[in-house]
Amino acid sequence: MASTSSGYRTAPTVAAFVAFLLVLAFGNPAFHDWAYKHNSNTAGGYFLQILTWPSWHVSGSEPVQNVIAADLKAILLIVFTFVFVALLCGAQLAAAQGTFSQFFAGWAGYIFAAALAGLLAAWLLQHASLLGALQWAAGGAVYGLIVGWIIGLATFGARR
C-alpha cells in the first residue's frame, strides 16, 4: 500500500529515476557502438542514435577532458530533470491536476534539462568553444524532444 505522505513517487522523483534508467540503458558504450554500427539510415536508426546522446564512458581513447565532459553531461541530465520537472509541475495550477499538463511538464522539463546539461558540460571539452557548447545544447534539445515523451508518460499521474 502506498503512503500518501511519501515523497518517493512525486513527479520529479519519477522523472529523475526514468532519466537514470534511460541514461544507464542507452548511454552505455555497448549500446552506443551497436546503434552506430547498425544504423540503416531510417527513422528507427536515427531514433537509436538519438537515444545514445547522454553517453557515458568507462574507458576510451579520447582525451580525459572529453570523457569527463560526456560523463558530466549524463549526470547533469538526471539532476536537471529532477529540478526542471519540479519547477514545471510546481508551477501548474491546482485546477490542471490530472490533465495532460503534467505529461507536457515532464516532457518539457526533459527538453530543458538535456539542453542545459549539454550547454554546461561542453565547457569541459578539450577544445571548448561557444559554438561547441551551443551544438551540445542543440543536441540535448533534440534528444529531449524525441525521447522526452517517455519522461512525460512516466510523470503522468504522479504526485506533484
Summarised one tens digit per residue, pLDDT across range 8-29 is 678 899 999 999 999 999 999 8
- Read off the C-alpha cell for 111: 527538453
Rg over alpha carbons for the chain, rounded to the nearest Å, is 16
Cα distance between residue 131 and residue 53, in whole Å: 18
Cα distance between residue 15 and residue 78, in whole Å: 8
Domain boundaries, the chain: 17-155
9 contact partners, CB below 8 Å, separation of at least 6:
2, 158, 159
Q: What is the pLDDT of residues 47-64, one digit of tens each?
A: 999 999 998 877 667 888
* pTM of this structure: 0.87
